[in-house]
Amino acid sequence: MYFKQFLHDDLGCSSYLIASRDSREAAVIDPQPDVQQYLDLVAERRYKIVAIIDTHLHADHVSGNRDLAAATGAQLYLHEEADTLFPFHALRNGDALHLGPIVLQVVHTPGHRPEALSLLVVNPPRSPEPSMVLSGDTLFVGDVGRPDLGGPDGAIQQYHSVQKLLQLEDYVEVFPAHFEGACGKGMCGRPSSTIGFERRFNPLLQLSEPEFLKLTCQPQAQPLNMEAIIATNRGEADFEWAMPTYSGPVPEVTIDEAESLLGGKDVFLLDVREPWEYEEKRIPAAYHLPQSQLATRLSEVPQDRHVLVTCRSGGRSEKATQFLLQMGYGRVSSVLGGTQAWAESGWPVETG
């Protein structure tokens, strides 16, 4: 068996290539938009990509599944519950994909998304039992996938899906689809682990079911440009340009500078937090546009004014500012400390 993990530092994502040295057949799991990296690898090692699998419809990055399928003629696979507008081969719990002697066993693990799946990797020449699990956004290193994107039953399903994976042997290696990023709160940054280590040391796996549900049901900010990215991954639109690519310096203003600037007509204050945060407390005159909708509502952000971007404490506003710079906005700044620092400085706030 040949196994390759690709680490994509820009969004904290991982993708994978698994191949049989006997049949030369390969599968790519959770491919990124830059599909050339997979094509270069199989050309170098003389493998043939025959299967492309997404563990779920991603909310924080555009999948390269259809581009890679077009470039290779490989079959595209998703779980049968995936709600897309393009054809794919439907996978069900218990299905098995074969790459020569290598077996990829499908485990339906809903929670993060209804169609989420994990893949058990079995290499029969070495063992009849799984040695690895590609856990998608179900089980992370030090965390679990956020269940709020999975609908009203997401947290309950996530708990039981994780418990299903914990039935595996301690030695089974865990390779998730993320090692950091917006799809989990407490990922430790390591790209892999084992079932045994996570069972013992993952803090969320030490919780009872009621404690797990209470913690994971807490509201979280949705990923930047999520609506555009999901629409693209469903095949209903083409917002690949919504993927963040800008990594340069971010202009910033302090709270006092922002307060001074807001007195002028040439300034537009953009609040990219969630609706419940905006209603709870906001800077007066702030225009609300959640970061998950920024790409789909970009026309609402004027290009002829100095855009000040604020969030709770400055993390989201920095990313949103980078995206606006990427889209050609000439005057845009992130407000240091955000709404929280504004309130702590004694400046007036609005509620409701």
Q: Give the H/E segment covering residue 16.
A: strand 13-19
The answer to whether 309 touches 320, Cβ cutoff 8 Å, is yes
Q: Which is catalytic among the residues 13, 183, 217, 311? A: 311
In degrees rounded to 5, what are phi and psi of residue 28?
-110, 130
Tally the C-alpha atoms within 13 A of residue 172's C-alpha that lie toward its C-beta: 24
Reading the block at residue 244, the tokens are 């963040």
CA-based torsion, 205, 211, 217, 223: positive or negative? negative
Tally the C-alpha atoms within 13 A of residue 215's C-alpha that lie toward its C-beta: 18
d(CA 89, CA 95): 12
- DSSP H helical ranges for 57-153: 65-72
Exposed/middle/buried for residue 137 (C-beta within 10 Å: 0-12, 13-18, 19+) = buried
Active site residue 311: yes
d(CA 271, CA 294): 11
Residues marked active site are found at 311
